[in-house]
Amino acid sequence: MLRKEQNDYLSQTGPGTPLGNLFRCYWMPALLAEELPENDCPPVRVKLMSERLLAVRDSEGKYGLIDEFCAHRGVSLWFGRNEDCGLRCPYHGWKYDVTGQCVDVPSEAVESGYAKKIKLKNYPLIERGGVLWTYMGPADKQPPLPEFEFCTVPLNQTFTTKRVQECNWLQAMEGGIDSSHVSWLHRGDLSNDPLFKGAAGNKYNMQDMSPVFEVVENDGGLLIGARRNAEDDQYYWRITPWVMPCYTGVPPRGDHPIHGHFWVPIDDESCWAWSYDYHPTRPLSDVEVAAMKDGKGVHVKYVPGTYRPAANKDNDYLMNRAAQKAGKTFSGIEGIGMQDASLQESMGPLCDRTKENLVGTDNGIIMARHRLQRAAKALADKGTIPPGVDPEHHKVRQAALLLKHDMPFRDGAKEALKAKQGVRQTSV
């Protein structure tokens, strides 16, 4: 459990809040590159960490993320005309470039210099791995670009989607490090989902429903190992990395692509659940990509034309009680992504952790909260750069492997946990 003030501390990410300041130390996924598909395309409204912004791509292909609202009368520039290297407000014609600099105020003479004195808040926006990333912190503290493996492999080896999740970022992220729920909530999907089934390691999940856990601090966050009994004096380990503040990896299965998530706050009551799949050494097959587009694995089907899941709280997530009763799905909800999201959203837009009753196996969650609080406090008190900012911390991989009983997973999986170009994932 958390006291209310602790819960607020960890949940609130708006400007000036302790966690908000922490998040603003990192590059964050802002939108998919496909959302700004061509020069002078329509701008996209983006709300991140309680700031309303507008993503634009100008006539020369330059990206920018600027305050959504015109400095003149507060109109949303989403209605603007994207033309001649600038976004022109349709109300009175004020025009801004991708840096938020006003370049034209039609009512005032150019010679007056009036436009030069108008500038909207802006953040850098860069493309990496099909994702547009932004950094919303102080310009002089901007870190090097992100090096997560899913966004550094060739584009034909990676596939990323996002979906809106209608709850606070923390309860969504905590699902990503809560390894103990997998044996329950997702038990039906190991044998059915095309992106999971067939892996040799799946049998250990099915044979041993009581995994034992180890949590180890890592430079960038945590490594959470779940072990199950295997043959010949060995354990089957599934190792989940968490990189601060909101990146989680799902341990792989066989030669299936590796997947995981980013959990990015939209505001304090909703977040973007980013889901990636990639393979370190080969292109994704047409069958795999088709399955991902069809909402299999960690991805979801959408309400057409949106990034809102087709199964959502307005339709009770398309609950199928017959499938639940028959054991086809444990919760009655189809798909891993929505199985998680439905339950996390059911906690309410902001989970009241003063009422929760954690148990020993929740230590991954407890440790993550502890590290977030510690890092936010060190940032506030001493300006300490938090773990996970250094791109070296991004070069971690999830792993699934067999180790002898007396081998610490962190040592036994030392090489497996490193992202190395051209080296296949370690997976059973």
| CA–CA dist 309, 341 (Å, integer) | 10
Handedness of CA 397, 399, 404, 410 (dihedral sign): positive
Within residues 280-309, the interface with other proteins by CB under 8 A covers none
Under the binding rule (CB under 8 A), the answer on residue 321 touching other proteins is no
Count the helix, strand and coil residues of the chain and give each as a percent rounded to the nearest 5. Answer: 30, 25, 45
Question: In the bound complex, what is the minimum distance in angstroms from residue 214's beta carbon to other proteins?
Answer: 5
Instruction: Choose, by CB under 8 A, the member of 97, 104, 166, 193 that binds other proteins.
Output: 166
Whether a cis peptide bond, with omega within 30° of 0, leads into 245 is yes
What is the footprint of other proteins within residues 177-216 (CB under 8 A)?
212-216
Instruction: Please provide the DSSP assignment of 69-135 as one string.
Output: B-TTT--BGGG-EE-SSSEE-TTT--EE-TTSBEEE-TTS-GGGTTGGG-B--EE-EEEETTEEEEE
Least spacing, CB of residue 183 vs other proteins, in Å? 14
Q: Which is nearer to other proteins, 84 or 352 (CB)?
A: 352
**CB closer to other proteins out of 6 and 21:** 6
**CA 59/CA 88 separation, integer angstroms:** 13
Span near other proteins by CB under 8 A; candidates 59-67, 120-128, 299-307, 314-322: 314-322
Nearer residue to other proteins within complex by CB, 186 or 369: 369
Amino acid at 230: A
Residue with tokens 């003030």: 5
Output the smallest distance, CB 366 to other proteins, in A: 4
Shortest distance (Å) from residue 330 CB to other proteins: 17
Among 111, 304, 355, 382, binds other proteins (CB under 8 A): 355
Which of 315, 326, 380, 420: binder of other proteins (CB under 8 A)? 315
Sequence-ordered list of residues with C-beta below 8 angstroms from that of 151, at least 6 positions apart, any chain: 128, 129, 130, 131, 158, 160, 276
313 binds other proteins (CB under 8 A): yes
Shortest distance, CB of residue 55 to other proteins, whole angstroms? 27
Total residues interacting with other proteins, rule: CB under 8 A: 42
* Chain Cα centroid distance, residue 144: 19
Q: Which of 37, 408, 420, 421 binds other proteins (CB under 8 A)?
A: 408
Tokens at 12, concatenated: 């609130």
Contact 245, 18 (CB under 8 A): no
Name residues contacting other proteins, limited to 216-255 (CB under 8 A).
Answer: 216-217
Residues 87-146 that bind other proteins (CB under 8 A): none
Closest distance between other proteins and the C-beta of residue 425, in Å? Answer: 24
Q: Which range binds other proteins by CB under 8 A, 47-55, 73-81, 120-128, 403-411?
A: 403-411
* Residue 1 binding other proteins, by CB under 8 A: yes
63, 18, 275, 202: CA torsion to nearest 10 = 160
- Per CB under 8 A, which region of 19-27, 192-200, 294-302, 402-410 contacts other proteins? 402-410
Instruction: Name the amino acid, one letter, at 242.
Output: W
CA 320 to chain centre: 28
CA distances from residue 155 to 11, 98, 131 in whole angstroms, order as listed? 34, 26, 11
The answer to whether residue 59 forms part of the interface with other proteins (CB under 8 A) is no
Within 358-387, which residues bind other proteins (CB under 8 A)? 358-363, 366-367, 369-370, 373-374
Task: Please report how close the Cβ of residue 227 comes to other proteins at its closest, in angstroms.
Answer: 9
Residue 231's Cβ-count burial label (10 Å; 0-12, 13-18, 19+) is exposed
Q: How far apart are CA 290 and CA 136, in angstroms?
A: 34
Q: How far is the CB of 189 from other proteins (least distance, A)?
A: 22
Binding site for other proteins (CB under 8 A): 1-3, 166-167, 212-217, 269, 313-317, 345-350, 352, 355, 357-363, 366-367, 369-370, 373-374, 405-406, 408, 411
